[in-house]
């Protein structure tokens, strides 16, 4: 089976409506597990206080067969390894305070996303691929900004398209000054699409390149070299090609000196020990995936996936030292990793499950107690901070998953603090008033903790609570005034924390009707609707990347000028020029 079939292209739309064909038909499911011992495309060396991560793509190691990953070009498999490296550096290597991102290939940094892979991929795969790669680059910037682990790019050769975008996610970019190495964004001139990994936004809003110069950069396939790249602000430093890794190392060491991460184990010095991230346990069946703290139930008949997060059970750490001893088994970290994997699994492998029902099970007080440990150590402890940052990124992934989110608050649930964010992330929240008939489980409550007031901001930089009450400061203050209180359904409704409250008589019918109604609506229109309603208020680099750049890219990806038989993406490399409908809209 060739790449075309495996990536789902060419199948008639009708073949996919069972939610089981397309990407999944014949192709292996996308898995996000890996570890440095299994990397095929990266070399990671830990040299405290820095790490060296070199791109060394195995051109025969494509995620799907049918294309060669030449010139350090990447596909999803390469990026899954990068995401793993970014994550492990944060948790397993507190002693690393700066990371040099370079290339192991002489005179080539990276040619960006592999074009043959993109040309063969269907639209959903392209969108999911871009979304994931964007999240990985934002995770690098999050590490630079919040974890004291600054990224430095060493461009020892040409960095084009996604290759330069990868560098743009770093804090500092060095470019080889050899008369040939360049940075470029050739997507528009060569492929008829847009740079898909934040390049346009970062050139303008992060690096503040003058817009007419950015226009030149983005329309000239060969890009910009040397002194001009420096003068225009496309890179931060030039270095001789043969010495560029050394120059990057020196720069990284200087940046490491300003980091607030724990001191690392230098020869003769004591340092913080890292937290190893073991492979996730995943019990997967036809209609269910169970990770332990997170269970996903798949209802293909109703197009619904139900994600249930279980709260902490049994004795739990009550301080940072105990949390560190628990390591990857500490509930907030374990639950975040499981939820993150579940989200990615559903995004890539269960495209037709359009609604995700969000549930929780457990003791709200236990969640609140875990939040106490988080809140008390956010500023003082590197590990607790990392766990909170991972929770933040995982919840952002949820916001960006292009699925309708419905939270159900029922007896036995634990929507408190960190887990209350699931309710606040939902498009609609349903809460049962009282108990179920014949069941003596006490009525559900919801509870705010300090974790709802800032440490877990959405992409717009606001807490989900503040975003909910945008322009209504009084309502925000009223909700905050009930911090820590268990709130019954009527109180939660009065405070504006849930959308719908029903009692046992109506609950089942109302929830069923709401899910059926959702499943009857246009999947595309819902994606656009939710993207507009979820991110009110301030805009950030992140909301621009996902809310503006991605929306335009999705549009361009659909157009015959890119994806049609005579379009640029399909004709790239054939020697035949694309044929364009010239009408501008």
Which residues within the stretch 408-467 sit at the binding site for its own copies (CB under 8 A)? 426-429, 467
Residue 22 falls in which region: left (phi positive, over 0), alpha (psi -120 to 50) or beta: left
- Nearest CB to its own copies, comparing residues 61 and 233: 233
Positions 344 through 403 that interact with its own copies (CB under 8 A): 351-354, 402-403
Counting Cβ atoms within 10 Å, is residue 285 exposed (0-12), middle (13-18) or buried (19+)? Answer: exposed
Tell which one of 88, 337, 518, 570 touches its own copies (CB under 8 A): 518
Q: What is the DSSP letter of 548?
A: I
**By the rule CB under 8 A, 512 interacts with its own copies:** no
- Nearest CB to its own copies, comparing residues 12 and 440: 12
Determine the distance from the C-alpha atom of residue 285 to the mean position of all C-alpha atoms in its chain, rounded to a whole number.
Answer: 25
- Nearest CB to its own copies, comparing residues 22 and 317: 22
Taking the C-alpha atoms of residue 387 and residue 389, their distance in angstroms, rounded to an integer, is 5
Taking the C-alpha atoms of residue 392 and residue 454, their distance in angstroms, rounded to an integer, is 10
**By the rule CB under 8 A, 184 interacts with its own copies:** no
Tell which one of 119, 214, 395, 495 touches its own copies (CB under 8 A): 214
Which residues have C-beta within 8 Å of that of residue 50, sequence separation ≥ 6? 96, 97, 98, 99, 100, 249, 252, 253, 256
Tell which one of 38, 179, 565, 585 touches its own copies (CB under 8 A): 585
Positions 301 through 330 that interact with its own copies (CB under 8 A): 303
Binding residue count for its own copies, defined by CB under 8 A? 96
- Nearest CB to its own copies, comparing residues 123 and 227: 123
Both tokens of residue 29? Answer: 């499911």
Q: Is the peptide bond before 49 cis (omega within 30 degrees of 0)?
A: yes
Positions 70 through 99 that interact with its own copies (CB under 8 A): none
> Is-contact 109 163, C-beta < 8 A?
yes
Positions 96 through 135 that interact with its own copies (CB under 8 A): 123-124, 127-128
**By the rule CB under 8 A, 46 interacts with its own copies:** no
Taking the C-alpha atoms of residue 201 and residue 284, their distance in angstroms, rounded to an integer, is 39
**By the rule CB under 8 A, 193 interacts with its own copies:** yes
Taking the complex as a whole, the smallest distance from the CB of residue 406 to its own copies amounts, in Å, to 10
- Nearest CB to its own copies, comparing residues 239 and 446: 446
Tell which one of 105, 213, 228, 250 touches its own copies (CB under 8 A): 213
- Nearest CB to its own copies, comparing residues 57 and 169: 169
- Nearest CB to its own copies, comparing residues 62 and 354: 354
Tell which one of 274, 367, 561, 571 touches its own copies (CB under 8 A): 561
Taking the complex as a whole, the smallest distance from the CB of residue 301 to its own copies amounts, in Å, to 12
Taking the C-alpha atoms of residue 346 and residue 352, their distance in angstroms, rounded to an integer, is 9
Which residues have C-beta within 8 Å of that of residue 292, sequence separation ≥ 6? 281, 310, 334, 338
Tell which one of 1, 516, 552, 573 touches its own copies (CB under 8 A): 552
Taking the C-alpha atoms of residue 303 and residue 343, their distance in angstroms, rounded to an integer, is 15
Taking the C-alpha atoms of residue 44 and residue 52, their distance in angstroms, rounded to an integer, is 6
Taking the complex as a whole, the smallest distance from the CB of residue 404 to its own copies amounts, in Å, to 8
Return the range that interacts with its own copies (CB under 8 A); candidates 38-46, 96-104, 389-397, 543-551: 543-551
Which residues have C-beta within 8 Å of that of residue 23, sequence separation ≥ 6? 7, 8, 122, 124, 125, 348, 349, 351
């Amino acid at each position: 089976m060739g790449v075309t079939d495996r990536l789902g292209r060419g199948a008639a739309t009708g073949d996919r409506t069972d939610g089981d064909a397309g990407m999944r038909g014949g192709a292996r499911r996308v898995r996000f597990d890996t570890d440095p011992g299994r990397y095929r495309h990266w070399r990671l060396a830990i040299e405290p206080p820095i790490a060296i991560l070199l791109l060394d793509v195995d051109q025969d190691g494509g995620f799907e067969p049918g294309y060669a990953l030449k010139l350090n070009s990447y596909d999803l498999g390469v990026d899954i390894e990068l995401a793993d490296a970014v994550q492990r550096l944060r948790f397993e290597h507190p002693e690393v305070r700066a990371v040099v991102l370079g290339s192991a290939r002489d005179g080539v940094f990276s040619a960006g996303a592999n074009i043959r892979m993109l040309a063969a991929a269907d639209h959903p795969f392209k969108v999911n691929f871009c979304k994931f790669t964007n999240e990985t680059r934002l995770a690098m910037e999050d590490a630079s900004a919040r974890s004291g682990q600054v990224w430095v790019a060493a461009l020892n050769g040409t960095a084009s398209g996604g290759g330069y975008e990868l560098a743009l996610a770093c804090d500092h970019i060095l470019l080889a000054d050899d008369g040939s190495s360049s940075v470029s964004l050739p997507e528009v001139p060569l492929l008829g699409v847009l740079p898909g990994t934040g390049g346009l936004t970062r050139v303008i809003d992060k690096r503040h390149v003058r817009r007419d110069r950015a226009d030149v950069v983005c329309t000239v396939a060969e890009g910009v070299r040397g002194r001009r790249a420096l003068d225009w602000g496309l890179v931060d430093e030039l270095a001789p090609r043969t010495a560029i890794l050394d120059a990057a190392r020196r720069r990284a060491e200087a940046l490491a000196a300003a980091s607030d991460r724990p001191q690392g184990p230098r020869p003769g010095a004591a340092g913080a020990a890292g937290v190893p991230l073991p492979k996730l346990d995943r019990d997967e069946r036809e209609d269910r995936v169970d990770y332990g703290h997170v269970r996903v139930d798949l209802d293909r008949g109703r197009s619904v996936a139900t994600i249930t997060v279980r709260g902490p059970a049994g004795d739990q750490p009550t301080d940072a030292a105990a949390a560190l001893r628990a390591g990857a088994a500490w509930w907030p970290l374990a639950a975040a990793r499981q939820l993150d994997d579940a989200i990615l699994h559903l995004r890539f492998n269960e495209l037709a499950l359009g609604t995700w029902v969000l549930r929780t099970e457990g003791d709200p007080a236990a969640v609140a107690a875990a939040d106490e440990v988080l809140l008390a150590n956010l500023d003082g402890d590197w590990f607790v901070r990392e766990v909170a940052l991972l929770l933040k990124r995982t919840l952002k992934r949820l916001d960006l998953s292009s699925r309708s989110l419905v939270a159900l608050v029922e007896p036995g649930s634990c929507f408190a603090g960190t887990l209350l964010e699931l309710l606040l992330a939902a498009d609609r929240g349903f809460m049962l008033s009282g108990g179920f008939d014949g069941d003596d489980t006490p009525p559900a409550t919801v509870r705010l903790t300090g974790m709802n007031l800032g440490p877990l901001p959405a992409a717009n930089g606001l807490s989900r609570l503040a975003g909910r009450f945008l322009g209504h400061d009084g309502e925000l203050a009223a909700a905050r005034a009930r911090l820590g209180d268990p709130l019954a359904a009527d109180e939660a409704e009065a405070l504006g924390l849930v959308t719908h409250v029903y009692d046992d008589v109506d609950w089942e019918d109302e929830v069923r009707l709401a899910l059926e109604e959702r499943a009857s609506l246009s999947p595309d229109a819902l994606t656009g609707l939710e993207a507009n309603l979820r991110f009110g208020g301030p805009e950030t680099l992140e909301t621009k990347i996902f809310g503006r750049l991605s929306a335009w890219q999705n549009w361009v990806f659909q157009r015959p000028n890119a994806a049609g038989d005579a379009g640029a993406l399909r004709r790239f490399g054939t020697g035949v020029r694309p044929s364009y409908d010239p009408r501008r809209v």
